[in-house]
Amino acid sequence: MRWWTGIAIAMLLLLAGCTANTEQKQGGEVQKEITINGAGASFPYPLIAKWSSEYGKLKGVKINYQSIGSGGGIRQTMAKTVDFGASDAPLKEEERSKMPGILHIPETLGAVVVVYNLPGVEEKLRLSGEVIADIYLGRITRWNDPRIAELNPGVELPDEEIVVVHRSDGSGTTFVFSDYLSAVSEDWEKEVGRGKSLSWPLGLGGKGNEGVSGLVKQNPYSIGYVELAYAVQNRLSYALIKNRAGRFVEPSIESVSAAAAGAASSLPRGDESWEGVSIVNAPGEDAYPISSFSYLLVYRELSVIPGMTEAKAKALVDFLWWAVHDGQKYAPELHYAPLPEEVVRLNEETIKLITYQGKPLL
């Protein structure tokens, strides 16, 4: 049996050597995966999801982002239950005062579009802000209303009741939409106003851009508002909107960029207040009037977040830097506009402010 015992000993030694090598390899080459958690706006979710995939493949860092609406993102950022938040609405001073050291980082530019479901109508509708406001105020109730017909000569509009769809959750998309309506309609500003959550005069409520898209798709003769990427993904018709120059403009990368052109050089610093920053109803022949920045919200001192480590803080800052630089190349394919150079430079200055236990991370 000596030969069998010798073989057994040899096999055990071999296995032990393999195990030792594996452990060495794991210790030398494989590090524990870092997960960065974020939550907030559904408006930029398609882009952030793309970033998560591409950055994960590039760096092995997992970006876990939950599309829960801007209101939810702000609440979770305030509670420090996520590493970063996202909102299409800049923080109000009251919100900002509860988050000392919070930074605004514009991540992308996008368009809120007015989508509709009109069986039998092939032409792209033209709408003005005043008409949209009166539809949502319940003053225009049928698709063949003379005011809609006047904007769309030659289009056979159905004699059907308009089914109004809006967001049910706290939403940056709603903020942008209501900010625009407040800018163009005195009645809207007086009766409803602007905000992430509104007291809607009428309509069906859907959660997230996803929910509004679904309700419009399911309900003939409905109208709603979503970020452009959701309209394209769901093959929903969307209107040309009359801009400040009197032109009916289609939402596009070019027309959103045109809306941002005048504001890019006069934005506040990342550590200053952004309340009041808006590019809706912007001047310019080619400007799409319901355009907006979308923001990442990050604490300047990352050690205030429970469970944050220096390695995780460094990974978050590296991701932010990548997102506002290399990550911008993924924006056009998803119908977002890349950030202007002035905004990229502003973001560079902001990201360099971020520290962990007082130590700069860049």
**3-class DSSP assignment, residue 343:** helix
Q: What are phi and psi of 113, to 5 degrees?
A: -115, 150
Q: What is the DSSP string of 165-181?
A: EEE-S--HHHHHHHHHH
Give the tokens for residue 224.
Answer: 């709603």
DSSP 301: B
**β-bridge partners, 356:** 359
Give the angle subtended at the CA of 143 by the CAs of 140 and 144, to the nearest 5°: 100
Within-domain flag for 281: no
Asked whether the predicted pLDDT for residue 181 surpasses 50, the reply is yes
283 inside domain: no
Cβ-based burial of 232 (10 A; exposed 0-12, middle 13-18, buried ≥19): middle
* E strand map for 17-101: 35-40, 62-67, 84-87
Confirm if 184 and 129 have CB atoms less than 8 A apart: yes
One domain for residues 117 and 76? no
Mean residue pLDDT across the chain: 92
207, 236, 260: which is the final residue of a domain? 260
Tokens of 290: 């319901």
pLDDT at 24: 31
The tokens describing 33, both together, are 């995966």
Task: Please list, in sequence order, all residues whose beta carbon lies within 8 angstroms of the beta carbon of residue 315, skipping any fewer than 6 positions away.
Answer: 34, 36, 59, 61
Residue matched to tokens 């092939």: 122
Looking at the fold, whether 143 and 99 belong to one and the same domain comes out as: no
Q: Which residues contact 214 (CB under 8 A, 6 or more apart)?
A: 206, 234
* CATH number where 58 lies: 3.40.190.10
**Are 250 and 349 within one domain?**
no
Check whether residue 127 and residue 104 sit in a common domain: no
Whether residue 181 sits in one domain with residue 149: yes
CB 66 within 8 A of CB 39: yes
CA separation for the pair 226, 173 (Å, rounded): 7
Query: Per residue in 81-105, pLDDT tens?
Result: 999 999 999 999 999 999 999 999 9
Q: How confident is the model at residue 265 (pLDDT cuts 50, 70, 90)?
A: confident
pTM across the whole model:
0.88
The label of the residue with tokens 């007291």 reads 199
Say how many domains are in the chain: 2
Residue 220 inside a domain? The answer is yes
* 285, part of any domain: no
Residues 208 and 246 in one domain: yes
Query: Taking 90 as the threshold, does the pLDDT of residue 13 lie above it?
Result: no
- Residue 356 banded pLDDT, cuts 50, 70, 90: very high
- Residue 43: closest CA among 243, 307, 264, 334: 334
Average of per-residue pLDDT across 244-260:
97
Inter-CA distances, 71 with 46, 77, 95, 172, Å:
18, 10, 11, 7
The answer as to whether 282 is a domain residue is no
Q: What is the pLDDT of residues 291-329, one digit of tens each?
A: 999 999 999 999 999 999 999 999 999 999 999 999 999
> Does 126 lie in the same domain as 73?
no
- 334 has a pLDDT exceeding 90: yes
Task: Quote the pLDDT of residue 32.
Answer: 74
Closest CA to 89 of 64, 65, 72: 72
Over residues 179-203, mean pLDDT = 97
Q: How far apart are CA 87 and CA 295, in angstroms?
A: 5
* Domain membership flag for residue 9: no
Domain co-membership, 242 together with 187: yes
Cα–Cα distance for residue pair 101/98, rounded to 1 Å: 9
pLDDT > 90 in the chain, percent:
90
- Looking at residue 15, what is its pLDDT? 39
Q: Do 250 and 138 belong to one domain? A: yes
Are 52 and 65 contained in the same domain?
A: yes
* Claim to verify: residue 178 and residue 222 sit in the same structural domain: yes
* pLDDT tens-digit series, residues 145-172: 999 999 999 999 999 999 999 999 999 9
Q: Which of 210, 238, 260 is the last residue of a domain?
A: 260
Least Cα distance to 66 among 53, 56, 76 occurs for 76
pLDDT band for position 4 (50/70/90)? very low
End residue of a domain, out of 241, 260, 279: 260
Of all residues in the chain, what percent carry a pLDDT higher than 70? 91
In the prediction, which pLDDT does 31 show?
Answer: 54
State mean pLDDT over 240-248.
Answer: 97
CA angle 205, 73, 92 (to 5 degrees): 95
Q: Which domain does 159 fall in, by range? A: 112-260
Asked if residue 274 is part of any domain, the answer here is no
How far is residue 33's CA from residue 85's CA, in Å, rounded to a whole number? 21
Q: Is residue 288 one of the residues assigned to a domain?
A: no
299 and 234 in one domain?
Answer: no
